[in-house]
C-alpha cells in the first residue's frame, strides 16, 4: 500500500469524528487531529481502534501516543503494516 493509498484510507477512518470535511479533504502530514480537524480528544482512542480494524494491525501504547497529526498516524500505520 502506498502512502497515498494509506492516506485515503485514513481519511475514511477520521471522517466520522470531524465535522471539518473541507479540511479533511486537504489534509497533509502536518495536519493536527485536535487543533486543525477539531477532533475531540475523547475520540482519539476511537480513531486508533478503527485504524487497527481497517489495516488489520495492532497499535501499542507507545505508537498510539505518537498519533497526534496525520504524518505520525501514517508513519505508525505503515510501520505496523510492514511488521505483519
Binding interface with another protein (CB under 8 A): 19-20, 35, 38, 40-42, 45-46, 48-49, 52, 61-62, 64-66, 68
Written as one string, the DSSP assignment of 13-69 is HHGGG-S-HHHHHT--TT-BTTTTT---GGGHHHHHHHHHHHHT----HHHHHHTTB
Our CB check for another protein shows the closer of 5 and 84 to be 84
Our CB check for another protein shows the closer of 8 and 79 to be 79
Our CB check for another protein shows the closer of 72 and 78 to be 72
Cα 19 from chain centroid? Answer: 16
- What's the closest the beta carbon of residue 6 comes to another protein, in angstroms? 21
Amino acid at each position: 500500500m502506498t502512502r497515498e493509498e494509506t492516506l485515503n484510507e485514513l481519511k475514511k477512518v477520521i471522517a466520522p469524528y470531524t465535522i471539518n470535511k473541507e479540511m479533511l479533504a486537504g489534509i497533509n502530514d502536518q495536519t493536527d487531529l485536535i487543533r486543525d480537524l477539531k477532533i475531540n480528544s475523547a475520540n482519539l482512542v476511537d480513531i486508533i481502534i478503527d485504524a487497527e480494524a481497517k489495516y488489520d494491525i495492532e497499535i501499542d501504547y507507545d505508537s498510539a501516543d505518537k498519533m497526534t497529526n496525520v504524518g505520525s498516524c501514517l508513519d505508525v500505520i505503515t510501520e505496523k503494516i510492514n511488521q505483519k
